[in-house]
Amino acid sequence: MEKNLKIKSKVLILHPSLAPYRVDFFNKLHEKCDASIYFSYRNVPYLKYNQEHILSQLQFVPHYLDKGFDFRNRPIRFGIIKLLSRGKFDVVITSEFSHSTIVSYLYKVIFRKKYRLYTISDDSIYSSMKRSGIRAFLRTTISKNINGVIYTSNDVGLYNKTHFSDKINALELPIIHDDNIFRKKLSDSLSISIENIKKYDLEHKKIVLFVGRLVEVKNLDVLIKAFSKVVEDNCMLVLVGDGPLRQELVDLVESNNISDRVLFIGHLEGQALCSWYNIAQISILPSIKEAFGAVVNEALLGGCYVICSKIAGAVSLINNENGSSFDPSNQEELTEKIREALQKVVPLDSSTVSLRESKMPFTFNEKLDTLIHQL
């Protein structure tokens, strides 16, 4: 696809849904290629994002495969073969080892089509280890017989090549935002950050931030218990998100006598969310199950020090300079990581709140340009 600077490759993208952390990826592919982008759902099924806001950021017209049904919470959509037969695509990019991937693969083999087929896998090493049964069979069978699998890190790709098939062409693209675009959003939200510091009385405090759904896999009970052992009076835990465990977590905070040190903000998007990345000095992703964790990239772009679960794929973004990792089943280790991180940061001063330097170890364009030249 290096020739796309002169003649744009014709690309078909089949993806489940449109989430904020994928907007820059789809926009850039549309810019670089003649891309037709189709989604199976009109929103992420388990988290209803503000699609009107997301659509306003698109540089392309999205299409939807609305006909079909769901089987075990997975989309089975009609019309894929019609797209493949009429489109004369150079490249087809699907998601995971899904129905769209299977159909695209079988159609290519049976009718000897020449399009190059890739699939995007959000698996971490941990989730790769846990795959079993038909899903493991499909992963191994398909991944070694298509043109490539786009993993979230080189480490995940190497793991799959080593443990499942050395025939896999492992490519890399983490789930990350375009640095310039996201940091512009951070900059634009600074006034909201200052308002929040005053609203929640955060002046001269150290802020530990969690962003995500309030659900069991996020391991928030361990986070709250670990934070309760931190004795610094000037630190606050801010939970941005909502979900079925909210009241249970509120009760847990009360039982640990830290209600005055924990804030439940609720679900936020856009500038309202970005404002908290400007405020927090430390961000934590404590999940016991997490394919990647796009919030780690967002926090690093905001200049936060990140403490990341070793289970999450986004741990690949962490190095000795920008954060640390921990075993999410080890509450004592998390407490110690929080204590260490708090020693490295200074309390908030609203008069000096500004856009901090990004702590990302690489840029979106670096990774995407490398990928495009490999397709």
Round to whole Å and give the CA distance between 14 and 35: 11
**Residue for token pair 């020090």:** 305
Nearest to 64 by CA among 75, 56, 49, 73: 75
CA separation, residue 305 to residues 175, 282, 284, 322, 360 (Å): 18, 5, 9, 5, 10
- Name the residue ranges covered by the structural domains of the chain: 2-176+362-372, 179-352
CA nearest neighbour of 312 among 347, 344, 286, 339: 286
Report the pLDDT value the prediction gives residue 6, as an integer from 0 to 100: 41
Sheet arrangement for strand 34-39: 63-64, 34-39, 10-15, 91-95, 116-120, 148-151, 170-172
| CA–CA distance, 132 with 341 (Å, rounded to integer) | 37
CATH top-level class for 179-352? Answer: alpha beta
What is the distance between the alpha carbons of residues 44 and 174, in angstroms, rounded to a whole number? 19
Q: What is the pLDDT of residue 47?
A: 80
Question: What phi and psi, each to the nearest 5 degrees, are found at residue 302?
Answer: -85, 0
Look at the block and give the residue holding tokens 């991944």: 143
Burial group, residue 76, by CB count within 10 angstroms (0-12, 13-18, 19+): middle
Residue 205: predicted pLDDT: 97
Output phi, psi for 36, to 5 deg: -110, 120
Tell me if residue 284 falls in helix, strand or coil: strand
Residues 6+ apart with CB under 8 A from 207: 235, 236, 238, 279, 280, 281, 282, 348
Architecture of the domain defined by 2-176+362-372: 3-Layer(aba) Sandwich (3.40)
Q: So what's the pLDDT on residue 371?
A: 93
- 18 half-sphere exposure, CB direction, 13 A CA radius: 24
User: From CA 178, how far away is CA 301, in angstroms rounded?
Assistant: 10
Instruction: Give pLDDT tens digits along the chain (375 positions).
Output: 444 434 578 999 999 999 999 999 999 999 999 999 999 999 998 888 999 999 999 999 999 999 999 998 899 999 999 999 998 999 999 999 999 999 999 999 999 999 999 999 999 999 888 887 877 888 889 999 999 999 999 999 999 999 999 999 999 999 999 999 999 999 999 999 999 999 999 999 999 999 999 999 999 999 999 999 998 879 999 999 999 999 999 999 999 999 999 999 999 999 999 999 999 999 999 999 999 999 999 999 999 999 999 999 999 999 999 999 999 999 999 999 999 999 999 999 999 999 999 999 999 999 999 999 898
DSSP structural state of residue 311: T
Domains 2-176+362-372 and 179-352 share a fold: yes
